[in-house]
Amino acid sequence: MTTVTLTLLEAGHCVFPEHFTRGRGGLKLARLPATFALIEHPRAGLLLFETGYGTAFFRATRRWPNQLYARLTPVTLREEQLAVHQLARRGLRPADLSRLLISHFHADHVSALGDFPAARFSYWPEAWAAVRGRRGLNALRAAYLPEVMPADFEARAAPLDPAALRPLPPEFAPFRHGVDLFCDESVLAVPLPGHAVGQLGLLVRPAAAAPVFLVADACWHSSAFREDRPPHALANLLFADAAQYRATLHALHALHTHNPAVELVPAHCAEACERHVAAG
């Protein structure tokens, strides 16, 4: 079975009240890192999963109504944390990246897409259909900032084909279907509905390590899938489908319970970030 090299990195963070994101705790602010992943496949080359924050986020949130996004989730991003700079320190140029997989179109996951002018963009078709054409407050309700998207996004789009869904290996039950990106079970895109329409996670088999499941925003903290604990009920206002969110979280809990060897990594979990994310 083919294995890949997986490097997890952080491109900035925001803060938000802990009781909201955990469903418990006080009013102190929780640090929510914006992680992204570099995957090096022995034959297919480089794949980036997410981008974290980018400078386009700050340009996009200078004016109303997008200012609300930045005010509700204050963001810290150092120049050296930009994905493009972190890859450069690893000897990689933007042009070296041929493919970028997007879990969903919230700004903290896509606001550095424009830094990779040669990359094709892959995503679940439903995810783009849910935000395409939205502007102003209508976009903001979906945590989508059209201003961060590259002007040629659709020209470089390479959406995944729902017809390519195949049964997953039984070790990943209760998740049953995914898209085998390289046809060798090394990297599997898995639907994780609820938080956002068409959200994807990524199952990765790193060399000499247990499988890693990058679960995007299917939960915000590792404690959530361990305890099967959803966030505060008010968070339902942010989700595309609260019932689907709860079902996805329950499935993550079941996977963790029945196969704890699989490492589940939420995109914004400070605990997981400290354990897995490489120095930038």
Digit-coded pLDDT (tens) for 250-277 = 999 999 999 999 999 999 999 999 988 8
**Range 66-72 contact pairs with CB under 8 angstroms and sequence separation of 24 or more:** 66/140, 66/145, 66/147, 68/140, 69/107, 69/140, 69/143, 69/145, 72/16
Q: For residue 109, what pLDDT band results from cuts at 50, 70 and 90?
A: very high
Say yes or no to pLDDT of 189 above 90: yes
pLDDT given for residue 236 in this prediction: 93
Residue 278, pLDDT score: 77
pLDDT for residue 280: 62
- Average pLDDT over every residue of 35-58: 97
Region of residue 143 (phi > 0: left; psi between -120 and 50: alpha; otherwise: beta):
left
Phi, psi of 145 (to 5 degrees): -115, 100
Write the pLDDT tens digit of every residue in 213-242. 999 999 999 999 999 999 999 999 999 999
Work out the mean pLDDT of the chain and round it to a whole number.
Answer: 95
- The alpha carbon of residue 260 and the mean position of all alpha carbons in its chain are separated, in whole angstroms, by 21
- Sorted by where each begins, the domain ranges of the chain are 5-276
Q: What is the pLDDT of residues 69-91, one digit of tens each?
A: 999 999 999 999 999 999 999 99
Q: Given a cut of 70, is residue 279 above it in pLDDT? A: no
Whether 65 has a pLDDT exceeding 70, the answer reads: yes
User: What confidence score (pLDDT) does residue 143 get?
Assistant: 95
Mean pLDDT value across residues 157-176: 97
The predicted pLDDT at position 81 comes to 97
* CATH number of this structure's domain 5-276: 3.60.15.10
Q: What pLDDT digit, counting tens, does each position of 47-56 carry?
A: 999 999 999 9
